[in-house]
């Protein structure tokens, strides 16, 4: 009788091909098979379980129906219907192929495959399915961390490369921010920091300098005046460098009026030696620095040309003879600042006309129409006296224009100290007193009189003229030059910002009494 009970046959276990091992005769532990050997055994088992004879169609169509026993095969039943008959097949010792069938036992199959015992770890099933490729060159190694993860062990640890990268980026950002903050602090407070730490920057250049500069020494100039002229011309690094050197001399040097050909960035000692050397004195030459007022320009012209100052003053009084705009009451604003070398023999009017014509040329080159010369020169003269650094000229121009706009500045007061000082006759300074700012009798007092200043207050150069024509864009309504040595200026929009800037300027003034 055929036994249809499932047996512990390796062919019946679908996981038997995952890990198959054999025990040897000595009862040793199973030896793991490679994937290739396991697959070969699986294919052999499947071939052995396939019947050699075809199975009846009805039986195959219903695999769950039990196979006939030996007793029923001894007395077969026949059913007839019409001309056709269907006979049940006789039972055989070979069972039907199905989920409960097993391969026939045979002495010939007593091999390692039939004695194989199966050990299965289901967690590796997907792993072997992924790694089972068409390459039969042999088993491929599996990463140790992945085997441990698939077997339910401790998952492999991730590398911390990404964390390290993030930490590096954060560190760079933090360090960059600190460097940027340090740069801002250094830029804003370099002089104070140097003083506190004892890192005072030398106030003097070294060597004989380079380039070329022309400096005027006027009749009656004292040491302070010459020190200022040298610093303004870029010859010395600071006022103190030259002035302190003069005070240290055992005998005061003698300076002769005239124009001197010097160099830029000279040491104070080199500058002093050059000024006392007659070979550096230029004949028939004079210099009008930018921002110089008429009353200071005429003595320089006299020193350079040899024309008596009185003759120059008399010629300048005939304003109408120079072709100036009708609003002009003096030559102020139209004596163009430059270095002039004129032939000997010219009269006072001819020399002054040369300077006026040079001013007209500058205005024409800037695109200013003759009818706009006056208002351009007035604004440019104000910018020339108030601005310090080159880029500040255009911002200063904007501040004054904003203050002339009633929508931005209701009072219309320019409140320029330079205009007040000019009206008092103090053309060498821009600071004023409370009394001077309150003096309504001064027509140049823009703290009292609204609108543009009535007349030019200096002789402007090309940069100031350009700034008057092309002001910067900005909302600024205030500015203060807090460092008179460097010309650094703070621009503000609110009163509170401006007051803080004024405090900074006053602190600087306390440390530099020479400007009082």
The full 3-state SS of 364-398, as one line of letters, equals HHCCCCHHHHHHHHHHHHHHHHHCCCCCHHHHHHH
What pLDDT, on the 0 to 100 scale, is given for residue 62?
A: 45
pLDDT mean values, one per 10 residues, the chain (516 residues): 43 46 47 64 71 46 44 40 40 38 42 44 46 48 51 53 77 82 71 66 90 89 91 92 93 89 95 93 90 95 92 97 97 96 84 96 97 98 94 97 97 96 89 94 97 97 98 97 88 96 92 77
Q: Which residue has the tokens 């007659």?
A: 278
Nearest one of 373, 419, 382 to 401, comparing CA atoms: 382
Model confidence pLDDT, tens digit, residues 27-81: 445 555 566 676 777 777 777 665 554 444 444 444 444 444 443 444 433 343 3
Instruction: Give 128's contacts (C-beta < 8 A, 6+ positions apart).
Output: 18, 35
Long-range contacts of 417-421 (CB under 8 A, 24+ apart): 418/382, 418/385, 418/386, 418/457, 419/382, 419/444, 419/445, 419/446, 419/453, 419/457, 420/444, 420/445, 420/446, 420/447
- Residue-level pLDDT at 512: 84
Distance of CA 231 to the CA centre of its chain: 35
Give residue for tokens 């050197």: 245
- The owner of tokens 């390692």 is 112
**Residue 280, pLDDT score:** 93
Rounded Cα distance between 368 and 375, Å, is: 10
Which pLDDT score is estimated for 313?
Answer: 97
pLDDT for 218: 84
Residue from 210, 387, 216 nearest 289 by CA = 216
Reported as a single tens digit per residue, the pLDDT across 147-182 is: 554 455 555 555 556 777 788 888 888 888 888 777
Q: What is the pLDDT of residue 343?
A: 77
The full DSSP string for 391-410 is THHHHHHHHHHHHT-TTT-T
Residue 220 zone, left/alpha/beta (φ > 0; ψ -120 to 50; rest): left
pLDDT above 90 covers a percentage of the chain that reads: 49
């Amino acid at each position: 009788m055929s036994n249809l009970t499932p047996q512990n046959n390796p062919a019946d276990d679908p996981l038997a091909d995952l890990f198959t091992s054999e025990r040897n005769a000595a009862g040793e532990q199973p030896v793991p098979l490679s994937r290739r050997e396991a697959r070969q055994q699986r294919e052999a088992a499947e071939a052995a379980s396939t019947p050699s004879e075809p199975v009846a169609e009805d039986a195959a169509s219903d695999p769950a129906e039990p196979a006939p026993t030996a007793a029923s095969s001894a007395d077969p039943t026949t059913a007839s219907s019409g001309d056709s008959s269907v006979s049940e097949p006789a039972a055989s010792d070979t069972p039907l192929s199905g989920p409960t069938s097993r391969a026939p036992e045979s002495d010939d199959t007593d091999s390692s495959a039939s004695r194989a015992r199966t050990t299965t770890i289901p967690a590796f099933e997907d792993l072997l399915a992924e790694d089972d490729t068409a390459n039969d060159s042999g088993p491929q190694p599996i990463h140790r961390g992945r085997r441990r993860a698939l077997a339910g062990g401790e998952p492999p640890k991730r590398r911390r490369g990404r964390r390290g990268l993030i930490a590096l980026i954060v560190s760079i950002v933090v360090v960059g921010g600190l460097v940027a903050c340090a740069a801002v602090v250094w830029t804003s407070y370099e002089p104070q920091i140097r003083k506190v730490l004892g890192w005072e920057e030398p106030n003097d250049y070294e060597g004989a300098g380079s380039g070329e500069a022309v400096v005027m020494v006027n009749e009656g100039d004292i040491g302070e005046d010459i020190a200022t002229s040298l610093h303004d011309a870029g010859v010395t690094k600071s006022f103190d460098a030259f002035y302190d050197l003069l005070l240290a001399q055992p005998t005061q040097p003698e300076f002769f009026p005239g124009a001197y050909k010097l160099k830029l960035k000279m040491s104070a000692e080199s500058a002093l030696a050059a000024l006392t050397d007659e070979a550096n004195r230029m004949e028939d030459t004079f210099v009008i620095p930018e921002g110089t007022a008429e009353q200071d320009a005429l003595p320089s012209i006299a020193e350079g040309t040899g024309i008596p100052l009185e003759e120059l003053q008399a010629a300048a009084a005939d304003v109408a003879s120079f072709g100036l705009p009708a609003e002009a009451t003096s030559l102020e604003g139209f004596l163009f600042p430059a270095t002039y070398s004129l032939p000997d023999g010219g009269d006072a009017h001819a020399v002054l006309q040369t300077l006026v014509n040079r001013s007209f040329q500058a205005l024409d080159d800037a695109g200013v129409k003759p009818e706009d010369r006056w208002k351009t020169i007035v604004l440019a003269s104000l910018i020339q006296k108030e601005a310090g650094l080159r880029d500040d000229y255009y911002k200063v121009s904007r501040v004054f224009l904003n203050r002339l706009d009633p929508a931005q500045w209701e009072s219309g007061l320019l409140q320029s100290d330079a205009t007040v000082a000019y009206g008092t006759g103090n053309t060498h300074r821009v600071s004023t007193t409370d009394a001077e700012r309150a003096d309504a009798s001064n027509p140049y007092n823009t703290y009292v009189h609204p609108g543009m200043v009535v007349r030019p207050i200096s002789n402007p150069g090309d940069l100031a003229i350009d700034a008057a024509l092309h002001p910067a864009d900005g909302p600024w309504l205030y500015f203060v030059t807090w460092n008179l040595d460097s010309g650094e200026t703070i621009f503000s929009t609110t009163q509170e910002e401006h007051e803080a800037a004024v405090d900074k300027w006053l602190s600087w003034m306390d440390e530099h009494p020479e400007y009082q």
